Chains A and B, each alone.
Chain A
Amino acid sequence: MSLAEREPAPTPAAARRQALPRSLWIGAALSVVFVAAAALSFIWTPYPVDGMDIPARLQPPSWAHPLGTDHFGRDILSMIMVGARTSIAVALLAVGIGMVVGVPLGLAAAARKGGFLDEIIMRANDLIFAFPAIVIAILITAVFGASAVNAIIAIGIFNIPVFARLTRGGALSLWQREFILAARVAGKSATRISAEHILPNVANLLIVQGTIQFSLGILAEAGLSYVGLGAQPPTPSWGRMLADAQTMVSLAPHVALIPGLAIVLTVLGLNLMGDGLRDLLDPKVRKART
């Protein structure tokens, strides 16, 4: 692709830097903390994550255990770190599935607007969209068994129509633009135009939506694990930590509070980052701001 074909960027670089939204910074900082914790857990955790020490259970935060211990005496900090890994892996792969399948479907539907293919793709998407995400997830895990892989597939399937619709919507308006017309006159096929001209121009939308879907994915993974349909023990998962802590709330509140906070802060961070990215990348918002 060449720069000339892209949406012109009217704001000068200096002004844009000045206008960098604060939410982006806060969001990115929060997200980085959790990604870093997850990455670090691959090489180091304070304690082995499945190391039980039952006499030392339900201890409040201390120097030895900065976030305390759970009902089996496991170190909660270690579990949160490895749990972040589970959450990130599930959410990332689920967004990946949604993008890899949804984006080409959306591009194809836009290229054949009003045609048979468009109808089929969009109605199929409507069908999936009509079911609440958690119902699809429960259905899939009930049929194929509860596991992290099935949770990924379940959340991934729900992501497909989101990306397909977004891509189609963005692409439809682009198809009316002069530079696309020029490309068509030049004899490029619809597939090539979609790949070379449409896709780069909807990428902004996809990145913003991807961040939002990523945070929803983390929430969905926690939800599925909470009801026992996500990652199975002994793989730590924030949702299951919450579920296990349920009856201990009155005994040792930190056991429930910490995984709950981890979920809230991560989701909040990703949402703030998504908002910030949208402000930064969305041409409409950007024009309104300048």
Chain B
Amino acid sequence: MTKPLRLLAASALVLAAGLAPAWAQRTDVTVAMQLEPPHLDPTGGAAGAIDSVLYSNVFEGLTRFTESGEIVPGLAESWEISEDGLTYTFRLREDVTFHDGTAMDASDVKFTLDRARAEDSTNAQKQLFASIESVEVVDPRTVQVKLAQQDGMFLFNMAWGDAVIVAPESIGEIKSQPIGTGPFRFVEWVQGDRIEIARYEDYWGEAPALAEATFKFISDPTAAFSAMMAEDIDAFMAFPAPENLPQFEADPRFQVLIGSTEGETILSTNNAQPPLDDRRVRKAIAHAIDRQAIIDGAMFGYGTPIGTHFAPHNPAYVDLTEMSAHDPERARQLLADAGYADGFTTTLKLPPPSYARRGGEIVAAQLRAVGIETEITNLEWAQWLEEVFTNKNYGLTIVSHTEPMDIGIYARPDYYFQYDNPEFQALMEELNRTTDPDTRTEMLQQAQRIIAEDYVNGYLFQLAMTSVAKSGLRGLWANAPTQAVDLTGVYWED
């Protein structure tokens, strides 16, 4: 073979090798996110990253969330609710197996629910199971749950990642070797780098289009930008630097998905710490804040202003932003009425996300304009959880509360807001017992008004879900009704 010929043959080979995968439909995806899960047990940890990787992919519950936040059947194909609303009878799907080959039946459901509500349970959302009185196995495909009191949220609660069905056979190793019933099985976790999952061939439902998926963890926003630009990853869920999104939008290689999360981003206030225990002072803070400036400055315009602790995309939401409209003059007056004409100094402790760090600097500047000085401290998540969330040693902080329908936290006086209002607590108890949708909506709206009128916290904005993906990737969730990166419907378009 002459030299040019050899070269030609070689380049033809290279060309063929390079083109071959493009002819076939791609069936793998690499999805990046910022935080890595601390372990892989969704029923035993509060970290949202656990659900992001495993929810709907590896683990499934009796019911499940859709992208729009609707509750649809999961492992239970149907259910009956007794007249008094106290007995739920779930009919389980047929031929459901765990990834280790064992069958999923009613005894696994009983095991899961009993484990989650046990005295020594480490479930991060134990209140989801609080209304359960007993769980009984009727036959392998039927399970009966008796409630101690009516619970209008029960089916909703069962859709959470904290309520997914686990098996007693595999529970011991769940933190490193999660075994569920989902369309993907866990393959490998390279700590500090990635988690790999692959299609489970014996899945009971429709097989996913993807054969393999990799979750990569990239915490640094600059690295996230580079990885996306270099196409090392196919998608970045909840992209951390909103300022870079216009560049992705302008680039035909990428698409930007903008949706909503359940994250109410609030200026959390320590209601037990003087002078913040004075409603007038909190009201002054609310009027000192210019929400639009924060959304523009910290989030580059992505976010919806909120006036209470409720998601604007929820039908029961009431727009109360007018109650805390930007009015520095009024804020100064309120401070003077409360006896702080010369202002005061408090602490502002900020966790790492940019909405908090940048938002905090803007809030500090806005508060300074009405005479309130803040001492800013930037904290890592672990420090924040200890100092602010657990020890309540703070004046103000900024954080996004991403759990869906979490207005109930205001009924917990020991929660880090330290807000103690018996009227609100009674309303929440009443709400838990109510199943009629219209009455529930009314009560939820009343609850929104109470906390807005008490100016418990500064209500800033609903966190937007901004993800970046390659333009051919379809089926990713744009919204985040719960923390999940559901890959079951994801596919590549030609």
Contacts and interface: CB of A to CB of B under 8 A. Distances in A.
A261 to B, nearest CB: 19
A66 interface: no
A250 interface: yes
B243 A247 contact: yes
Contact of A247 (B221, B364, B365, B377): B221
A72 B375 CA distance: 19
Contacts of A145: 377
Contact of A50 (B241, B244, B296, B365): B365
B364 A233 contact: yes
A247 B225 contact: yes
B408 interface: no
A234 B361 contact: yes
Contacts of A52: 293, 297, 362, 365
B297 A50 contact: no
Contact of A71 (B244, B297, B360, B377): B297
B222 interface: yes
Contact of B362 (A72, A247, A248): A72
B421 interface: no
B358 interface: yes
B222 A246 contact: yes
A232 interface: yes
Given A145-B377, A247-B244, A250-B244, A234 B364 contact: yes
Contacts of B241: 247
Interface residues of A, number: 20
Given A52-B293, A55-B296, A247-B243, A71 B368 contact: no
Contacts of B378: 146, 228, 232-233
Contacts of B320: none
B247 interface: yes
A71 B365 contact: no
Interface in B364-403: 364-365, 368, 375-378
Name which of B221, B296, B368 has the most chain A CB atoms within 10 A of its CB: B296
B269 to A, nearest CB: 20
B376 A246 contact: no
Q: Kindly name the residue among B244, B361, B368 whose own CB sees the greatest number of chain A CB atoms within 10 A.
A: B361
A54 B244 contact: no
A69 to B, nearest CB: 12
B377 A232 contact: yes
Q: By CB atoms of chain B within 10 A, which of A71, A72, A233, A250 has the most?
A: A233
Interface in A36-79: 50, 52, 54-55, 57, 71-73
Contacts of B364: 233-234
A251 interface: yes
Interface string A246-290: 111111000000000000000000000000000000000000000
Interface in A56-110: 57, 71-73
B243 A71 contact: yes
A246 B244 CA distance: 11
Nearest to B221: A247
Q: Which of A234, A247, A251 has the most CB of B within 10 A?
A: A247
B358 A71 contact: yes
Contacts of B222: 246-247, 249
Describe A's contact surface by its main secondary structure.
loop
B247 A246 contact: no
**Interface class of chain B by DSSP:** helix
Identify which of A52, A71, A246, A250 gathers the most chain B CB atoms within 10 Å of its CB. A52
| B225, B243, B296, B364, most chain A CB atoms within 10 A | B243
Contacts of A233: 360-361, 364, 376, 378
B219 to A, nearest CB: 13
A234 B221 CA distance: 22
B243 A251 contact: yes
Given A52-B362, A247-B221, A250-B247, A72 B377 contact: no
A70 B357 CA distance: 15
A57 B297 contact: yes
Contacts of A248: 243
Contacts of B244: 247, 250-251
Contact of B221 (A54, A73, A232, A246): A246
A146 B377 contact: yes
Contact of A234 (B297, B358, B376): B376
A31 B364 CA distance: 33
Nearest to B242: A247
Interface string B446-457: 000000000000
Contacts of A72: 297, 358, 361-362, 365
A128 B364 CA distance: 38
Interface in A179-236: 228, 232-234
B299 to A, nearest CB: 11
Nearest to B380: A228
A225 B169 CA distance: 50
Contacts of B243: 71, 247-248, 251
B361 to A, nearest CB: 5
Nearest to B294: A54
Interface in B311-365: 358, 360-362, 364-365
A50 B368 contact: yes
A57 B247 CA distance: 17
24 contacts: A50-B365, A52-B362, A52-B365, A54-B297, A71-B243, A72-B297, A72-B365, A146-B377, A228-B378, A232-B375, A232-B376, A233-B360, A233-B361, A233-B364, A233-B378, A246-B221, A246-B222, A247-B222, A247-B241, A247-B243, A248-B243, A249-B222, A250-B225, A251-B244
Given A247-B221, A249-B222, A250-B247, 17 more contacts: A50-B365, A50-B368, A52-B297, A52-B365, A54-B297, A54-B362, A55-B296, A71-B297, A72-B297, A72-B361, A146-B378, A234-B361, A247-B222, A250-B244, A251-B243, A251-B244, A251-B247
Interface of B: 221-222, 225, 241, 243-244, 247, 293, 296-297, 358, 360-362, 364-365, 368, 375-378
Interface of A: 50, 52, 54-55, 57, 71-73, 145-146, 228, 232-234, 246-251
Top-4 shortest CB links A-B: A247-B241, A54-B297, A247-B221, A54-B296
